[in-house]
Amino acid sequence: MDDSVKLRLIPLEPAQREILVVNSRFIADLEFASSVEQARTHLAKVRGRHPTATHNVPAFIIGHGNSIITHCSDDGEPAGTAGRPALAVLQGSGLGNVSVVVTRYFGGTKLGTGGLVRAYGDAVREVLKGVRFAALLPTTTLMFVTPYRLYDQAVRLMEAHHGQILDTEFLEEIKVTVRFKDEELECFTSKLSNLSAGQIQPVIVEKNPETVFPLS
């Protein structure tokens, strides 16, 4: 299966790009949105930044896979020439939980329906070039106490399983708080038990079904 299908992809941070088409400015503003309310708030923010714009065209995808909500609007452009092409490009990106608003400042020359479709689609394509992707993954945070003699080996084991060390306290023994992707958890705990002959017993601190992991 393609990684983009398995991973729940989201934008790591906001992005904005502008293109010029026959003197009309198209400014695409993209943000993370985990709910319809957040997407509407994003649209309101963009409208507030561009009060004199001719159009502010929204498109969003909330959720992933078979459990999604999508929406788009032409915001006064001819029907089907703005929101739909923007949404189609967004859907092709593989992202979920994402909102984009394309602001247009009319440049004095009509683009025609075909020109508008291309312009709104191209504006979203352009902003996607600047997006850093992240994935929502289920994780488990563990806490365990290790003797000093086993600490270096435990660190190498955590690194081998891509653990994110969140806290380390150097007391009589060393208390470590570390987060793992769930897919790494069983293998790590098994190896940690073997390393310590069962002496180290991790405790689950937290389980999070949607931890944000930046992707390279």
State mean pLDDT over 153-168.
96
Q: Where are the domains of the chain?
A: 3-131, 137-214
Stated pTM of the model: 0.81
Please determine, looking at this structure, whether the domain spanning 3-131 carries the CATH number 3.30.230.30. yes
Percent of the chain with pLDDT over 70: 97
What's residue 216's pLDDT? 61
C-alpha to C-alpha distance for 36 and 40, rounded to whole angstroms: 6
What's residue 3's pLDDT? 44
What's residue 66's pLDDT? 86
Domain 137-214, CATH class in plain words: alpha beta
Give pLDDT tens digits for 101-149. 999 999 999 999 999 999 999 999 999 999 999 999 999 999 999 999 9
Give pLDDT tens digits for 3-52. 444 689 999 999 999 999 999 999 999 999 999 999 999 999 999 999 99
